[in-house]
Amino acid sequence: MSLIGKKAPDFKAPAVVNGEITEFDSTSLRGSWTVLFFYPLDFTFVCPTEILAFSDAAEDFAKVGAKIVGASVDSVYTHLAWINTPREKGGLGPINIPLVADLGKTIAKDYDVLDENAGVAFRGVFIIDPEGTVQSAIINNLAVGRNVQEVLRTLKAFQYVTSHEGEVCPANWDEGADTMKATPEGVAEFLASHLK
C-alpha cells in the first residue's frame, strides 16, 4: 500500500532526543518538512553509516526547514546504549537527530516497511510535507543503505514544486537548475533546450 499523497500515519513512542529518553509525538512535526527514515536494528552494520550520515546532514536539512527522525524496532534503551557507545567501539556517539523506538513494530507496519520474516524494518525513507502528506517514499532491502544527499535533493525538489505551481522538476534536477512547465509545450521547450 503506497502512502504517496496520503496523510502520514501519526505515532507517539519513546525516543532518544539529544541523549535523553523522552516521549516523541509525530504531530509535533506538523508545519515543517520532515524526513522520517527507518532502519533495521541498532548495533548492526549498514545502519550506523546511515544514521551518522543523516545526523551529520541535519544542519543542511534544517537550513531548508526540514527535520529528520530515525526509527527502528529496537527499544529506547538500546538506542541510548548505542548512542552512549563511542564510534571507535562500534557505537554512534552523540547524534543530532531523534531515534524513535518502535518496539511493538506498529509504526513500521503503519508505514508498510516491516519485514515480517525478519521482524525488522526495511530501509524506508519518507518525505512528509508541512501538512503531513507523504510526498516521497523510497524503500530499500536490508543490505543497501540510502544516499542522504539524494534525499536532500528530492526534498528540495518537492519544496520547489510546492511553491511554484505548474512547474515540475525533470530527471537529475538539482537546486538552481531549470525546471519545466507541466504542459506539452513546456516539456517540448525543455527538451529542445536541454537534451540535444
**Residue ranges per domain, the chain?**
12-146
Tell me the CATH class for 12-146.
alpha beta
Q: State the pLDDT at residue 51.
A: 98
Percentage above 90 pLDDT, the chain: 98
Catalytic residue of the set 3, 8, 29, 47: 47
Distance between CA atoms of residues 78 and 75, nearest Å: 5
Going residue by residue through the chain (196 aa), what tens digit of pLDDT does each one get? 799 999 999 999 999 999 999 999 999 999 999 999 999 999 999 999 999 999 999 999 999 999 999 999 999 999 999 999 999 999 999 999 999 999 999 999 999 999 999 999 999 999 999 999 999 999 999 999 999 999 999 999 999 999 999 999 999 999 999 999 999 999 999 999 987 6
* 169 flagged as catalytic: no
- Confidence (pTM): 0.95
